[in-house]
């Protein structure tokens, strides 16, 4: 079955002429048609365009001239990455009919590499959420248990990767929105260093935290995708001009002698005992591979979440000011004047969680409160960064749970703060701008995936991926697949 193959194996078949990109695209499209009615990962399926791109890739393989390791590989993108001529909603009513006039840089790079776009994936509205229940259109389901959430905000990207509805997908991670759904769906999810991947054409949530990254079936596949999308971009002045190594080659060599820090503060009160046991077992696997685990302390971890819930809403309230019913998107007509049109349009176009965060951010930035909230949070951000800097003087990589718990049921978390607490172990990494990956590290007795989070130094994705790859080689969690083919209950 072509949809089961890793990117590496699929590309090898293309090269040997044992399969064609058109066959692969058709297989994925057929699977999406058969199963996505149950998972609801896709907001838009670009069937005709995909088949056209695949036919072009066929010709390149026939000529013996593939463009890249991703040529002919079927992929899908979170619906906040602009795709020229293809509706891009950001999971919001306010952008329900928005058709971007340009491609995000990641899309342009994937096109140039020959990748085949299958469609656009569901998400929490404006990437604000941890369950994909805040999508304005419909919730996505966890492929391992359709009554549970896939995590969020990149829930569609994680579910599609886990359910083999695409060979790889892209998501974005502002406070854990790649790693947390990767953990919940039992797939690999990588958040690169801030500045590693261009954000041009990413619909902004919190600009100092947002970063684009891949979901894939294996660490090696994630490394291949990162190699294509990484690198400086003149269109994003925050992208950093650091050379892009061969991430695939960097996976080899093992982890003998690698110093692995275990942050005590990540094994918090209230952590699911099965998650804790699985992650501690994963650390023993790393030890068995020659790594040297040692205890480290990140003392400001508990303040990260509170700082994030000032900084991210503050940036969001500013970024989302552009949705005003004038240049694109929804407009609610009527009203006496321009100001009233703005208010009505935004009231109708934004969902509850987006409104809550715009209000929170506007409040935190308003006169009289700026220093107490935003100024304070930025100082706390410095302390969180310093924690990591000090830890990385002693160790090469950190290992911890990705999330304190596993996938919860739809509708279970009704209090906003309870939902926010999901991201308590992923947010500090965004505040510090570091790379982090979640890899499958076991299952609960009820069959729900558990994620191991590995965190590295800025721009040292290579070490993070090498450790993740070594762990993956030594275990077979990533080979387990959810069963979706059974008839509905």
Partner 1 sequence: MTQPKISLSQVEHVARLARLELSEADKERMRRELDGILSYIDTLRALQTDGVEPTSHAVPLTNVMREDEPRPSVPQTDMLANAPDPSGEFFRVPRIIEE
Closest CB 223 distance from partner 1, rounded Å: 22
Q: What's the alpha-carbon Rg for the chain, to the nearest Å?
A: 21
Which has the closest alpha carbon to 282: 444, 401, 123? 401
Which residue stretch of 5-13, 170-178, 286-294, 309-317 sits at the interface with partner 1 (rule: CB under 8 A)? 309-317
Among 339, 393, 483, 487, indicate the residue that binds partner 1 (CB under 8 A). 339
Nearer to partner 1, 78 or 381 (CB): 381
Whether the CB-CB separation of 56 and 72 falls below 8 Å is answered with no
- Residue 152's SS3 state is coil
Which residue stretch of 128-136, 143-151, 168-176, 231-239 sits at the interface with partner 1 (rule: CB under 8 A)? 231-239
Nearer to partner 1, 190 or 432 (CB): 432
Which has the closest alpha carbon to 205: 318, 308, 109, 309? 318
Site size for partner 1, by CB under 8 A? 74
Which residue stretch of 137-145, 146-154, 268-276, 358-366 sits at the interface with partner 1 (rule: CB under 8 A)? 358-366
Residues 184 to 203: which contact partner 1 by CB under 8 A?
193-195
Residues 26 to 55: which contact partner 1 by CB under 8 A?
none
Residues 393 to 422: which contact partner 1 by CB under 8 A?
415-417, 420
Closest CB 357 distance from partner 1, rounded Å: 9
CB-based contacts of 475, cutoff 8 Å, min separation 6: 282, 285, 440, 441
Nearer to partner 1, 64 or 333 (CB): 333
Closest CB 374 distance from partner 1, rounded Å: 9
Among 376, 463, 475, 481, indicate the residue that binds partner 1 (CB under 8 A). 376
Which residue numbers are catalytic?
78, 153, 177
Site membership for partner 1, residue 324 (CB under 8 A): yes
Residues 78 to 107: which contact partner 1 by CB under 8 A?
97-99, 101-102
Residue 161: which H helix or E strand, with range? Answer: helix 155-162
3-state helix, strand, coil in the chain (%, to 5): 45, 15, 40
Closest CB 98 distance from partner 1, rounded Å: 6
Whether the CB-CB separation of 251 and 387 falls below 8 Å is answered with no
Among 67, 281, 383, 410, indicate the residue that binds partner 1 (CB under 8 A). 383
Nearer to partner 1, 31 or 300 (CB): 300
Burial class (CB within 10 angstroms; exposed 0-12, middle 13-18, buried 19+) of 110 = buried
Burial class (CB within 10 angstroms; exposed 0-12, middle 13-18, buried 19+) of 242 = middle
Q: What is the 3-state secondary structure (H, E, C) of 211-280?
A: EEEEEECCHHHHHHHHHHHECCECCECCCCCCCCCCCCHHHCCCCCCCEEEEEHHHCCCCCCHHHHHHHH
Residues 425 to 464: which contact partner 1 by CB under 8 A?
430-434, 458
């Amino acid at each position: 079955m072509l949809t089961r193959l890793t990117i590496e194996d699929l590309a090898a078949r293309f090269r040997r002429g044992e399969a064609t990109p058109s066959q692969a695209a058709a297989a994925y499209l057929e699977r999406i048609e058969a199963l996505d009615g149950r998972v609801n990962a896709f907001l838009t399926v670009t069937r005709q365009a995909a088949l056209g791109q695949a036919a072009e890739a066929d010709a390149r393989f026939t000529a013996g001239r593939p463009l890249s390791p991703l040529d002919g590989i079927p992929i899908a993108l979170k619906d906040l990455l602009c795709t020229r001529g293809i509706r891009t909603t950001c999971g919001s009513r306010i952008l329900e009919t928005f058709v971007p006039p340009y491609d995000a840089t990641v899309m342009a790079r994937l096109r140039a590499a020959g990748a085949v776009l299958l469609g656009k994936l569901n998400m929490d509205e404006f990437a604000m959420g941890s369950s994909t229940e805040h999508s304005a259109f419909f919730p996505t389901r966890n492929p391992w248990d359709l009554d549970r959430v896939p995590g969020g905000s990149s829930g569609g990207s994680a579910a599609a990767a886990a359910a083999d509805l695409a060979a790889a997908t892209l998501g974005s991670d502002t406070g854990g929105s790649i790693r947390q759904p990767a953990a919940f769906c039992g797939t690999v999810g990588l958040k690169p260093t801030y500045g590693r991947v261009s954000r041009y054409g990413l619909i902004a949530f919190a600009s100092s935290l947002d970063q684009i990254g891949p979901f894939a079936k294996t660490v090696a596949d994630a490394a291949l995708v990162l190699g294509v999308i990484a690198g400086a971009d003149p269109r994003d002045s925050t992208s950093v001009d650091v050379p892009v190594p061969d991430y695939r080659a960097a996976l080899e060599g093992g982890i003998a002698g690698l110093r692995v820090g275990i942050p005590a503060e990540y094994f918090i009160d209230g952590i699911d005992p099965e998650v804790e046991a699985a992650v501690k077992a994963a650390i023993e696997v790393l030890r068995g591979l020659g790594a040297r685990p040692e205890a480290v302390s990140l003392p400001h971890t508990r303040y990260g979440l509170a700082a994030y819930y000032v900084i991210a809403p503050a940036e969001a309230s500013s970024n989302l000011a552009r949705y005003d019913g004038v240049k694109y998107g929804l407009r609610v007509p009527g009203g006496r004047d321009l100001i009233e049109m703005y208010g009505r349009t935004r009231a109708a176009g934004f969902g509850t969680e987006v409104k809550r965060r715009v209000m929170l951010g506007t409040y935190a930035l308003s006169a009289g409160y700026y220093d107490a909230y935003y100024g304070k949070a930025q100082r706390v951000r410095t302390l969180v960064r310093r924690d990591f800097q000090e830890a990385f003087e002693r160790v090469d990589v950190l290992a911890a749970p990705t999330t304190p718990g596993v996938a919860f049921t739809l509708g279970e978390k009704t209090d906003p703060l309870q939902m926010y607490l999901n991201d308590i172990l992923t947010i500090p990494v965004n505040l510090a701008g570091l790379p982090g990956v979640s890899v499958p590290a076991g299952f609960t007795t009820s069959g729900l995936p558990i994620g191991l989070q590995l965190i590295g130094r800025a721009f040292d994705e290579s070490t993070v991926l090498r450790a993740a790859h070594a762990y993956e080689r030594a275990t077979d969690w990533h080979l387990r697949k959810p069963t979706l083919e059974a008839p509905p209950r």
